[in-house]
Structure 1
């Protein structure tokens, strides 16, 4: 996602006194493992935290509350000090960054801070709110967050920004998908709170808004607009006699009927009154999106979906254009492979992973790639429902770099370190199986052990390195990972956690990436071609 520009290492705000070490050159910090640390410039700190964070999720070294508070504090500060940069970050996080919670929480913090400071200039608060809302359930989510965090009084810029998004996002199909009883705020609640008028070029929205209000407040009289074919077909299907529903789904034209009615796979089980079997799955599969297919591979196997239907699913999952449109994080394909181990999905998932790693370059020359396998990387999962860890993501990206490089040494490290065998062009998912859990974080020791006149070093890590006693005894600094690498040889750190202490300084030939997609790697070629790195929303 980013190579941090060459910014000052001056601290925005010092860490707690227990972590501070004073040196002649100024104030430096320790990593959480006790190695030498470096504070980040506020924009770099916010970027790395934002692209690595899943709101409310505890990490090995920080609680969810601590991370959330740090994120809101940084957004609020920079919203006042550098509003154009901060607005660009929030917009980019939701679009190219493909994150949801961080930009929504950030937009609320942005507006809150600027209103409290009475700040003028820069992008309008209304436009920042609108820019982070890209899915039809998000206006309600942002409103719910605002009221829980800041109270029920919703400022006018927030209401107007949400109203702009409502006009853009509310359609009959999005209503069927997202206007469900499980939501804190339904479409009708949002419309009541922000008073959105239909878009001038969408005259049909007036009827849709009225129907959404009736669904929420007067469901007994809610009737879809006769002019809306999708809503009408959906209502007719929902109202069909219970004894006829299975035949409507599995009989001739069933798949087309479900698609025409906008019936989702989530709603099918409740509507049919039981679990989905193979004929039902095969009827709804054509209308399912790539993420839904990916999540349900094991369900397809359990239900006994036919090989013909499975082949169609596999073809869609591995289609390059479909992968690009779905914008799934690459590690999602590793999760799917582990969750659905049947061999009929293996090749498709490997191809899909390959397409999702389109930005990983074929690095020329000799590359040393080090993957952090410490306990902290295994502790942090991406959500409460996910079993995938930052260690899994690190292994995926490290292996992808290695198998594409002209010549690479792939190393896993923790307390100890060792080379991970692989073949050039080998499947990434096969290489990932060879990684291990290795305890602590002796990053500098691993670099010192394995660096042999390579043309570059790439470290995929959370940066919380332990002290390097060997280096100190030999007269070097106490554990800075870039020390064993000569000046002029680039060292790229890919930070997957966003903790505040960095394991090394940024500067000439020392660069930091962030995030959970492969987009950062496009910057390697720019840097090595002599071009300056830039924030991704500011152009190259």
Structure 2
């Protein structure tokens, strides 16, 4: 979740204990004797007919649900990662134009760091081998945070060795010119990284955009090599940090001037370590004016536990609920739900509810009657966030209820082995609706999608299914067979498994992703775009 997913490649000591494991798909045999049945070639993990996707669609769905180092309910991490790499290498060569649009969207639209870094580098590897141009721009587009050039090179060195092709070097160097600043050096250049800022500079030889950046590059190399040649005058933030670090430990708790801390590029993480003591209310109050939106969001519980006053909390609340701040931060909706569940104080409920509403402005306003089916089966209980606080069904519920909030006449249903309609409450916020959904509508059993569609479809104008698609088979090859062929059925796959629960075709569409921007595809499809992607 966006970035739920952190790039996880740049460590001095790494050990991958997952063995590579191929996805298991089992041919479905015909019955012995009697009339021969026509059967699909594959079955899902729950025994339902499985439908093989095109490489582009399979890659798209896997990418938007990609979690480095994480098992899925039905698929081991090693096999999942290898499938992702193979799909990337195939599509990057067979459809380079589509791939050139896909990678930037994956990073900037879907906001997925790890998936975009791996896709860019493996795609570049395949394109260089095939003599296809464009890899430099791909690599540059995937690197949008200052630690990512080092992450990318650490990944490349571990996967492909020390020979780095020119397009990859130049793409990383382009990103370095955009991203390497004084504050970013202080924030992201960690001594624990296998590939530090100075290593990146030495490997890619970026051309500085200005004299100060050239001095920064040289200073980064000095830091990396342990050379103490002082801080140039052209780097005032780095100099201010060095002066602050020279403050005796016993005097550090008294430094609470936000301007002093800002001049030294102090983040709340750096301040906590520098003080060598617990972050109390005074420390948080001194940092809050300089904290970014995401940092505020993830520390609400810490503010409460430290006893941050109501006046300061009101400032935080105003920033959290400011539509402009929400738009600039581009925080994924799941983060608001995670913050809401983690923050013990009711003073955050209203601003978080407002922020979530602002974050979902891209969900289309749908006319007519819409049937929204949210999969709450056992396989949807797998961790969606790294800390396990959010599950896949949480993601399904957020987006399902968001679509319902923007639809003219919605019908929301939770389904598993059975199904339950979720009644609408007038004026209820999305976060309150999620609480109510969690308390009584998580069913946690099998995945009887066909039965849920058949039971609840009643002349609706469109159907939206949020699921991992691993339906159980009950004698019907098509889970949406009870919906007339002229009625659009949209499946949002949140897990990215190889096989789908229904064939794609006219008025039957399978998408994926955790970005609300993806929902803009519904109006595009209905407007007649036959090759519809969110990029």
Q: Same fold (TM over 0.5)?
A: yes
Aligned mate of 2:131, from 98, 120, 133:
120
Instruction: Provide the C-alpha distance between the structure 1 equivalents of 2:432 and 2:289, rounded to a whole number of angstroms.
Output: 30
Alignment of 1:142-291 (within 5 A): 142-199=152-209, 202-219=210-227, 221-249=228-256, 254-291=257-294
Q: Is 2:345 the counterpart of 1:342?
A: yes
CA gap of 1:277–1:15, structure 2 versus 1, over 3 A, is closer
Instruction: Provide the C-alpha distance between the structure 2 equivalents of 1:215 and 1:405, rounded to a whole number of angstroms.
Output: 56
Instruction: Provide the C-alpha distance between the structure 2 equivalents of 1:532 and 1:424, rounded to a whole number of angstroms.
Output: 37
Instruction: Provide the C-alpha distance between the structure 1 equivalents of 2:374 and 2:271, rounded to a whole number of angstroms.
Output: 43
Classify the secondary structure of the residue corresponding to 1:173. helix
Q: 1:133 touches 1:165 (CA, 8 Å); kept in 2?
A: yes
What's the counterpart of residue 516 of structure 1? 514
CA gap of 1:145–1:506, structure 2 versus 1, over 3 A, is same
Q: 1:492 touches 1:512 (CA, 8 Å); kept in 2?
A: yes
Aligned-residue Cα RMSD (Å) equals: 1.9
Q: Is 2:358 the counterpart of 1:351?
A: no
Instruction: Provide the C-alpha distance between the structure 2 equivalents of 1:340 and 1:510, rounded to a whole number of angstroms.
Output: 40
Q: Deviations over 1:161-208 (max 9, x none)?
A: 211211121111111111122322110111122222323xx2211111
What's the counterpart of residue 11 of structure 2? none
Instruction: Provide the C-alpha distance between the structure 2 equivalents of 1:144 and 1:504, rounded to a whole number of angstroms.
Output: 40
Instruction: Provide the C-alpha distance between the structure 1 equivalents of 2:402 and 2:25, rounded to a whole number of angstroms.
Output: 40
Q: 1:79 touches 1:86 (CA, 8 Å); kept in 2?
A: yes
Q: 1:404 touches 1:425 (CA, 8 Å); kept in 2?
A: no
CA gap of 1:114–1:527, structure 2 versus 1, over 3 A, is closer
Q: 2:48 touches 2:472 (CA, 8 Å); kept in 1?
A: yes
Q: Deviations over 1:109-151 (max 9, x none)?
A: 11222334xx234x42222222211111101000001111122
Q: 1:188 touches 1:212 (CA, 8 Å); kept in 2?
A: yes
What's the counterpart of residue 296 of structure 1? 299
What's the counterpart of residue 389 of structure 1? 391
Q: 1:378 touches 1:391 (CA, 8 Å); kept in 2?
A: yes
Classify the secondary structure of the residue corresponding to 1:193. helix
Q: 1:405 touches 1:424 (CA, 8 Å); kept in 2?
A: no
Classify the secondary structure of the residue corresponding to 2:211. coil
Instruction: Provide the C-alpha distance between the structure 1 equivalents of 2:327 and 2:340, rounded to a whole number of angstroms.
Output: 19
CA gap of 1:197–1:509, structure 2 versus 1, over 3 A, is same
Of 226-235 and 449-458, the range deviating more from structure 2 = 226-235
Aligned mate of 1:448, from 448, 454, 462:
454
What's the counterpart of residue 4 of structure 1? none
Classify the secondary structure of the residue corresponding to 2:420. strand
Alignment of 1:328-339 (within 5 A): 328-339=331-342
Classify the secondary structure of the residue corresponding to 2:286. helix
CA gap of 1:226–1:307, structure 2 versus 1, over 3 A, is same
In structure 1, list runs of 5 or more residues that go unmatched: 1-13, 473-477
Q: Is 2:105 the counterpart of 1:92?
A: yes
What's the counterpart of residue 523 of structure 2? 525
What's the counterpart of residue 78 of structure 2? 65
Instruction: Provide the C-alpha distance between the structure 2 equivalents of 1:287 and 1:273, rounded to a whole number of angstroms.
Output: 20
Q: 1:404 touches 1:424 (CA, 8 Å); kept in 2?
A: no
Instruction: Provide the C-alpha distance between the structure 1 equivalents of 2:58 and 2:426, rounded to a whole number of angstroms.
Output: 35
TM norm structure 1: 0.90
Classify the secondary structure of the residue corresponding to 1:37. strand
- Shift of residue 270, structure 1, vs aligned partner: 1.4
CA gap of 1:409–1:369, structure 2 versus 1, over 3 A, is same
- Shift of residue 239, structure 1, vs aligned partner: 1.6
What's the counterpart of residue 377 of structure 1? 380
Alignment of 1:441-520 (within 5 A): 441-468=447-474, 472=475, 478-520=476-518
Q: Deviations over 1:312-361 (max 9, x none)?
A: 11111111111111111101111111111310000011111111111112
- Shift of residue 399, structure 1, vs aligned partner: 1.2
Q: Is 2:41 the counterpart of 1:28?
A: yes
Q: 2:44 touches 2:471 (CA, 8 Å); kept in 1?
A: yes
What's the counterpart of residue 475 of structure 1? none
Aligned mate of 2:442, from 415, 436, 441:
436
TM norm structure 2: 0.90
Higher relative contact order (CA 8 A, sep 6+): 1
- Shift of residue 153, structure 1, vs aligned partner: 2.8
Q: 1:21 touches 1:30 (CA, 8 Å); kept in 2?
A: no
What's the counterpart of residue 143 of structure 2? 133
- Shift of residue 443, structure 1, vs aligned partner: 0.4
In structure 2, list runs of 5 or more residues that go unmatched: 1-21, 31-35
Q: 1:369 touches 1:457 (CA, 8 Å); kept in 2?
A: yes
- Shift of residue 292, structure 1, vs aligned partner: 0.8
Instruction: Provide the C-alpha distance between the structure 1 equivalents of 2:85 and 2:176, rounded to a whole number of angstroms.
Output: 25
Instruction: Provide the C-alpha distance between the structure 2 equivalents of 1:518 and 1:425, rounded to a whole number of angstroms.
Output: 22
What's the counterpart of residue 308 of structure 2? 305
